[in-house]
Each structure stands twice: as C-alpha cells, then as structure tokens.
C-alpha cells in the first residue's frame, strides 16, 4: 500500500515539474515541495511559480490557482486595509478567548476539503431545504467560531459592500488566529476566492477523513484534493492546538476491538490519563473534552510531533502518521519547530487554494456569510 502511495506522490511531483518547466506559468496544485521539505522559517516565496512576463506590475503577485498573492482588493476596496481589519477583529476575539484560534483554523480546513475553499461550510440550513447542509454533517457539529466570521463580514460590508468574499475572510481569519501568539503574519494568504452557492452534508461525510482513518485513507483523501504526504503531515500539526470531544476517541479508549479494550498503540500511562479524563462517575462520558496537545493546547508549536513519537497521538489518524516510512521521517523532522512552521505555512497556502472559485462567472460574493444572495 505505502509503496503504491509513494510512487503516485512521486509521479505527481514529476508531473508538476514538467508542467512548470513546460510552460513556466502554470500554477501547480501543491507548490513545489513534493518530497523536499523546507527548513527556513516562513519563506514560501520560492515555492510559488514565478511569473515570467516582462511587465513589472505589483498587482500581479505570484498566482496560485487563480488567486493573487498581492493586492487583490486594492482596486475594488480602495483606501481600506482589508487584511488589517480581519486581523484586528480576529486578534481582539482570540485575545479574549484563546480557544477560538483552533476553531477558526478548523473552519478553514473543513471548508476547503468540501467543495473547495468557498465558504460553503458557513451556510445555515434554510427551512425549505430538502437536504442537510455541510454544517449539519456529523464531523462538523462541534465547530464554532462562526460569530467571528460574521463580525468581520459585517465590518467589511460597511467599508466595501459586496466586495470581500466570505471564503477569503475564512482563509485570513484562520491565518490570523494562528498568528496571534506570534504577533505577526505567519504566512501570506493569496486572495480572490468567491463564495459557493451549494452546501451538502453528504459531501462532508465522504471528503473529510475521520479520527479513525488509517494512513492509506488519509493519503487518499488528501491526494484527491491535490495535497501530498508533506501536506498531510504538516497540516496534521494543526492538532497542536485545540480540543477534542471524548466521544471521538471513546472506542479507542474503552472498546477498541469490541472487547472492552484500549488501542495498544497508545502509550499505556497516557491512555490511563485519557481514560480518566473521559470518564464521569466511573462511566465513559462522550461529552467530556480533552486537550489535543496536553498542557499546550493554546500554543502553536512542535509538541504535536513530539507527542506522536511518544505514542501520545490523540486520534488513530495522528498515530497513523508513523505507519508510513516517509511520513514517519517527517514526523521526526517536524519535531524541529522551525521546520514545522515553515512547512505548515506552505501547506496552508496549498490547502487554501484547493478547488477555489475565482472567475466572475463562478459563485458570488455573499452579502451575509450564512446565506446565499
């Protein structure tokens, strides 16, 4: 299994290489990092294909999937610093409630994996809807943080009505939520996403991996979206912040093979800590919560990888990163905080460009993030 997967990753990497050489101007799905990993902090410039036109125009940053690296809203929303507004509202909220950073990051991930980063996740169910929307899908029920997106949107509608998409706001707020603790932007967010008009719960169930996914399944679901093994390992590092509900791991802790047992791949003493936290009155209690990265669930750092190597990954999907040899090498590599942050930044740009709507004839700019126009 693993060797088929790595062969296909290599193949995709080679294919991209020839595309870039061939046309010099094609945006590739996942940057150029392929099997290389970056060790310099935060610099993702060398990862995006450069323009080779002879005109020099600062409106034209590097493009990725039709998104603009620079100045996307400069003409449509003149004299307004869109990014600054998103940042200040996000930082105000995250400053008051540090757990929101994780919520905003997870919203962006869920949005992007289902129909691309088009804010479809934000749509509320309407009364005459026959089918459920993404928000109602089981994996999404514990997402919150939508109010922060609404606050940003309301403010931007006052500044420049009908201009800044909810999908761009989600991508920026995810970056700014993570960036708050560093007090600087941890990566550049290419802009120009448009908002989708469709949201289906059924797609959230098929496109999002589950906490019990094995490596083959994780890689299959990431590859389908144009993300590779480096992206998978780097983005999983998002679990360095935030919480999980005990319900998600109760089988793993209390009934792994149906015989009242615990997943033997969890370090035994840590398994006891988790079981204690996930129990109330001597009974498994699925509503309890645990920190994903014990004692460090607010700090965006390399602890996730140290935990995994100590067999203290919370989900099977986290532990699974050790079951593929290349992935296991990366887990070791990302114990270095700078290597992690640099690769996380790149992979967030890749994830944020998945299946985006960018042409005028695609999607719309919503007036309210919870409803289509």
Ligand X SMILES: *[C@@H]1O[C@H](CO)[C@@H](O)[C@H](O)[C@H]1NC(C)=O
Residues labelled as active-site residues: 110
Q: How far is the CB of 108 from ligand X (least distance, A)?
A: 18
64, 133, 204, 248: which one binds ligand X (CB under 6 A): 248
Alpha helical stretches, state H, the chain: 2-23, 82-96, 100-113, 146-159, 166-179, 201-207, 215-223, 229-236, 246-254, 268-277, 303-309, 316-319, 325-333, 337-352
Residue 331's alpha-carbon distances to 87, 123, 208, 240, in angstroms, are: 31, 35, 22, 13
114 annotated ligand binder = yes
Q: Which of 243, 306, 322, 328 binds ligand HEM (CB under 6 A)?
A: 243
Q: How many Å apart are CA 112 and CA 357, to the nearest integer?
A: 11
A 10 A CB-CB count for 167 gives 31
- Site for ligand X (CB under 6 A): which residue of 55, 295, 359, 360? 295
Q: Considering Cα of 351, then 306, then 265, then 35, what sign does the dihedral take?
A: positive
State which residue, 16 or 317, has the beta carbon closest to ligand HEM: 317
Ligand-binding annotation for 293, yes or no, is yes
> From the CB of 287, what's the least distance to ligand X, in Å?
8
1 touches which of ligand HEM, ligand X, none (CB within 5 to 8 A by kind)? ligand X
Interface residue with ligand X among 8, 181, 216, 362 (CB under 6 A) is 216
User: How far, in Å, CA of 101 to CA of 173, rounded?
Assistant: 9
240 has binding-site annotation:
yes
Secondary element (H or E) of residue 245: strand 243-245
Residues of this chain that bind ligand X (CB under 6 A): 1, 138-139, 141-142, 214, 216-217, 245, 247-248, 255, 258, 294-295
Extract the annotated binding site for substrate: 209
Residues of this chain that bind ligand HEM (CB under 6 A): 99, 102-103, 105-106, 109, 142, 209-211, 213, 218, 235-236, 238-239, 241-245, 248, 315, 317
């Amino acid at each position: 299994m693993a060797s088929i997967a790595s062969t296909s990753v290599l193949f995709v990497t080679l294919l991209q290489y020839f595309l870039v050489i061939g046309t010099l101007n094609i945006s590739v799905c996942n940057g150029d990092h392929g099997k290389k990993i970056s060790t310099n902090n935060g610099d993702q410039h060398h990862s995006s294909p450069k323009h080779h036109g002879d005109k020099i125009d600062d409106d034209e940053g590097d493009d990725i999937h039709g998104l603009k690296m620079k100045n996307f809203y400069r003409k449509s929303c003149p004299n307004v610093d869109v990014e600054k507004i998103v940042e200040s509202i996000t930082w105000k909220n995250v400053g008051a409630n540090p757990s929101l950073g994780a919520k905003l990051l997870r919203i962006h991930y869920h949005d992007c994996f289902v129909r691309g980063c088009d804010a479809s996740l934000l749509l509320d169910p309407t009364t005459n809807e026959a089918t459920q929307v993404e928000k109602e899908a089981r994996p999404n029920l514990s997402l919150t943080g939508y109010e922060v997106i609404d606050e940003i949107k309301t403010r931007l509608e006052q500044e420049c009505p009908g201009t800044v998409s909810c999908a761009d706001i989600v991508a920026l707020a995810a970056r700014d939520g993570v960036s708050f603790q560093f007090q600087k932007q941890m990566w550049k967010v290419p802009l120009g996403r448009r908002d989708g008009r469709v949201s289906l719960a059924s797609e959230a169930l098929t496109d999002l991996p589950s906490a019990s996914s094995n490596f083959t399944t994780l890689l299959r679901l990431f590859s389908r979206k144009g993300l590779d093994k480096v992206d998978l390992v780097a983005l999983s590092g998002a679990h360095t912040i935030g919480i999980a509900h005990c319900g998600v791991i109760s089988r793993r802790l209390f009934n792994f093979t149906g015989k009242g047992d615990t997943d033997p791949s969890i370090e035994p003493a840590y398994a006891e800590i988790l079981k204690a936290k996930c129990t109330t009155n001597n009974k498994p209690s699925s509503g309890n919560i645990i920190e994903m990265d014990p004692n460090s669930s607010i700090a965006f750092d390399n602890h996730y990888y140290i935990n995994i190597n100590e067999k203290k990954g919370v989900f099977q999907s986290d532990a699974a990163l050790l079951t593929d040899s290349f992935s296991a090498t990366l887990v070791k590599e990302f114990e270095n905080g700078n290597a992690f942050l640099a690769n996380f930044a790149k992979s967030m740009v890749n994830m944020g460009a998945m299946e985006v709507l960018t042409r005028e004839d695609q999607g719309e700019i919503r007036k309210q993030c919870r409803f289509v126009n």
